[in-house]
Amino acid sequence: MRSVLERARSRRGGGRIGLIITLIIVAAIVYALTKYVPVRIQRAEFLDYIEEKARAMVALQGTEEQLVDDILEYAKREGIPLQEEAVTIDRSESRVVVKVHYVVVQTLIGGKEWRHDIQLEKEIPRV
């Protein structure tokens, strides 16, 4: 039969293992968030920029080519991997729709890749 002291020591060891597992889980969550959140913030800022430029194009009777150039310039400046053929602008009498598609690939610990397939669409009504 084990003494009270031996049982107390084994329980403390179990507590340490639980703490270590909890810390590993928390570290994994924090690491994943440091990879995911910046991409989501960049996506939101890019969508805001697209909306701003599209509204300016509608208001000032700008050209589609100038809008595409502005979007590509912003993407290059911000490190967004965007190709010209991935930007489409559909213009009608009642609205302008801007669509953008790009993929952000991040390398995780161990060499595994995490792909963020991002498709943005912004519709601007003409007034």
Measured between its terminal Cα atoms, the distance across the chain in Å is 86
State pLDDT tens for residues 21-79. 999 999 999 998 999 999 999 999 999 999 999 999 888 888 899 999 999 999 999 99
pLDDT band at 122, cuts 50/70/90? very high
Identify which of 85, 92, 120, 127 has the alpha carbon closest to the alpha carbon of residue 104.
120
Radius of gyration from C-alpha coordinates of the chain: 25
Question: Mean of the pLDDT values across residues 82-94?
Answer: 92
Question: Could you give the CA distance from residue 79 to residue 73 in angstroms, rounded to a whole number?
Answer: 10
Question: Could you give the CA distance from residue 90 to residue 18 in angstroms, rounded to a whole number?
Answer: 56
Question: Could you give the CA distance from residue 123 to residue 99 in angstroms, rounded to a whole number?
Answer: 9
Question: Could you give the CA distance from residue 98 to residue 44 in angstroms, rounded to a whole number?
Answer: 15
